[in-house]
Every structure is written in C-alpha cells, then in structure tokens.
Amino acid sequence: MQDDDMTNTGGGAKPPAGATNNPLIAKLESLAKLSAEDKDVLQRISANPQVIEPGTALIREGDKPDGVYLILDGIACRYKLRASGARQIMAYLVPGDYCDLDVALLKAMDHAIGTLSTCHVVRIDLLTIQGLLERHPGITHALRLATLVDEATLREWLVNIGRRSADERIAHLLCELLLRLRAVGRTAGQGQSYALPVTQDDLADTTGLAAVHVNRVLINLQRRGLIAFSGQEVTISDLAGLEAFAEFKPNYLHLGGRDAA
C-alpha cells in the first residue's frame, strides 16, 4: 500500500440481502422505530442525488446555510481551516448521515462541510425539513436521536485526540467506522470489511498526526494482525483485539436504541 493509496470513488459495499437500500432509513431505524409512512417520506426526500467529486466544499465557513446535505454514498466531513491552510477534520459523514439539522437557526456556518471521496448527495431545503419536524413525530424522534449520537461521537473524538496514542487513535476510528457502516449495510466479508475512501492525509487531519506517522501506524496495526488491506478495502481481522487495543466501547453510538424505543 502506498502512502496515499487509500482513495476510493465508491461509498462501500452493497447492503446485504433484505436490508433497505436507503442508508438514511437504515441509520434511523438503527436508532428508533419508523412507520411505513415515515419510510415512504424519507425515501421521497432522498431521491435524485447529485454526484459530487472528491474535495468539493458543499458549504464553506461563513456561508449562509441554505439546506441540509444528506450523504447517500461516499464519505464527507466537517472541518475547519486555519489561515495557513491546515485542516482539522471534526466528523466523518458516511452514507445515511446528514449535516446540520437545525441549520436554519444559524446566520452563518462556523465550519465547512466537504467531500473526501466521490459522494452521492441530496440537498434538502429548509422548508422540507421544517415540514418533516412538524408533521412526522416518528421521524423527528429518530433525527433528534441521531443528533445526540453526533454529539456523543464528537466527545469521543476529543478523547481520541487528547488522551489516546497515535496507534490507539486510528484503531479506535477504524472500529467506529466498521460499526457505523455496518448499521447502514455498507460492509462486506461477513460484516468485517469496508471501503475506506479517504487518503492518509485525510486520516492525518482527522487524528492530528503527520501523514507519514499515519502510514507507520497502519503498517504496525497490520503487523499485529488486527487489520488487513486488500486493494482499497480494509478488513478488521481481529475485531475483539482491535477494540481491546483501542479501548473501544461502542455505547456512544447508541446502536441499540431501537430496542429501547
């Protein structure tokens, strides 16, 4: 594997048989129960996505928000840029994720959102979002839960940057992505493999490391037998071992929320 050879223009493996092809529905159903009417509405608002190239800013810091962006394929991110051009990635948006549900409350964006890989994106206008929240309580409940999960994930990422070693940071991120992508049917190999459509520079900007350090970490994790790469796909060879190494606890993802709803 070359230093930056982790780019993938797809969004991951196809959903397993029997799973919904709509990752938004799959994500929200992992958190709360949805009625048939709820699913029909969500299917309609996520129709006709646009294909967006990698490295495209969907909205920049300082822009006036004009809608909610839904990712149906690929990986996007929330990020901040310094005057020097240095970037800090603060969140990954995987299939089924949307950004800034309450964006209408903001006069200007305090961060940017952009694509890391080729993405299929739907922009949902603010009136549609308002209608969803007013007329579909089941969807509103699920969306609010998803927002709480986003906040919990950000807290975990803060711990990652501040209190985990370089190897632990990346191991923790790989565990998280596996579960998030599995929840929306974007894994393969009995749920242990997934496409990782980001570069090592992207991982460096996510974990606060240099790209060369990221490369060393990935090699080290492979040598430990915890992960493996086949082309542009990562396989978690030893999930229990990787979770133990990273002290990964998936409770912040609240993927069992549907059973408790």
pLDDT of residue 17: 35
Is the CB of residue 181 less than 8 Å from the CB of residue 10? no
pLDDT of residue 102: 77
pLDDT of residue 20: 58
State how far the Cα of 119 lies from the Cα of 188, in Å rounded to an integer.
19
pLDDT of residue 104: 65
Is the CB of residue 178 less than 8 Å from the CB of residue 94? no
Separate counts of helices (H) and strands (E) for the chain: 9, 11
How large is the C-alpha radius of gyration of the chain?
Answer: 18
Cα 176 → chain centroid: 9
State how far the Cα of 46 lies from the Cα of 49, in Å rounded to an integer.
7
Q: Give pLDDT < 70 ranges for the chain.
A: 1-20, 104, 257-261
